[in-house]
Amino acid sequence: MNILDAIIKQKRAEVGEKKKMIPLEEVKQSEFFNRQTLSMKAALLDVQKTGIIAEFKRKSPSKGDINKHADVVHVTTAYANNGASALSVLTDGHFFGGSPNDLIRARVNQLPIIRKDFIIDEYQIVESKAMGADAILLIAACLSPLEVKQLAEFAVLMGLEVLLELHDEDELGHICDKIDLVGINNRSLKTFEVDIERSLAMAAKIPAGKVKIAESGISSVDTIRLFKKEGFNGFLIGENFMKQENPGLAFEQFVNLLRSN
């Protein structure tokens, strides 16, 4: 069993328990459920912006604790004030140390927010809308093409955009009409090793009209420039900032460097 299998096993158990405890109608009572969502696609296509999806992440299976006690409002507000195009917030508790409350608190920002979790059920999509998310992540490695299609259609019906994450070329067949954002994760799920050539090699095979996003292993502005030349509009970066004592300041310095040339 690899780490993804373990995560999905845990997630199925969690979702099953939540369904018993909190009916959908109760989930929909959230103050955010009927808010007008913000478009992550539009934000990433805005050439005046950085294209960076700045992530708030407390820990990960590959790195352990990264910044366990960071304040989500402080960090995400600094991201927003210093040029992030969008925000990503981890809500998985068991493996990533996040919580729905992290996303809810990050909603003080007027930027598109993607809920970063392991979505396997429509219940989680309703939950995402109730948290104040504007987009959700679907991971091809843990869903069939049919499941991706069904979940993406439901998300769009709920007014949410969908980022489909791919790890290799075998997953290109998971891309469907309702997917506007396609991310290529440079980190291997099996070894946790990062190889940016993964994104570069797959870039040309992403269908026209999809917004391409590079994920994981981005730690320099030169890497962003390289990806931009290959047609990428989005760059999801988390650990590079979160591992610093002051993630917001690290982000500000990174953006200043990006804009200096």
Domains and CATH numbers, the chain: 3-259 (3.20.20.70)
Contact 212, 234 (CB under 8 A): yes
- Helix ranges (H only) for the chain are 3-21, 24-27, 40-45, 72-81, 100-106, 122-131, 145-157, 197-202, 221-229, 239-242, 247-259
Per-residue confidence (pLDDT) for residue 44, from 0 to 100: 98
Contact 102, 72 (CB under 8 A): yes
* 34 labelled catalytic: no
What is the spatial distance between Cα 150 and Cα 130, in angstroms, rounded to a whole number? 20
DSSP conformational letter for 37: P
Residue 1 has pLDDT above 90, yes or no: no
* 178 labelled catalytic: no
* 31 labelled catalytic: no
Catalytic residue among 14, 127, 161, 165: 165
* 215 labelled catalytic: yes
pLDDT digits (tens, 9 = 90+) for 89-110: 999 999 999 999 999 999 999 9
Catalytic residue among 67, 88, 199, 216: 216
pLDDT digits (tens, 9 = 90+) for 25-76: 999 999 999 999 999 999 999 999 999 999 999 999 888 899 999 999 999 9
Catalytic residue among 41, 215, 233, 239: 215
* 216 labelled catalytic: yes
Beta carbons within 8 Å of 92's beta carbon, 6+ residues apart: 7, 11, 98, 116, 117, 118
Query: What's the pTM value of the predicted model, to 2 decimals?
Result: 0.96
pLDDT-derived band of residue 126, with 50, 70 and 90 as boundaries? Answer: very high
Per-residue confidence (pLDDT) for residue 188, from 0 to 100: 81
Catalytic residue among 88, 109, 128, 185: 185
pLDDT digits (tens, 9 = 90+) for 10-30: 999 999 999 999 999 999 999
Catalytic residue among 14, 55, 127, 161: 55
pLDDT digits (tens, 9 = 90+) for 177-233: 999 999 999 988 777 788 888 889 999 999 999 999 999 989 999 999 999 999 999
* 220 labelled catalytic: no
Q: Which residue has the tokens 């799920």?
A: 189
> Considering the chain, what is the average pLDDT of its residues?
95
Per-residue confidence (pLDDT) for residue 256, from 0 to 100: 97
* 188 labelled catalytic: no
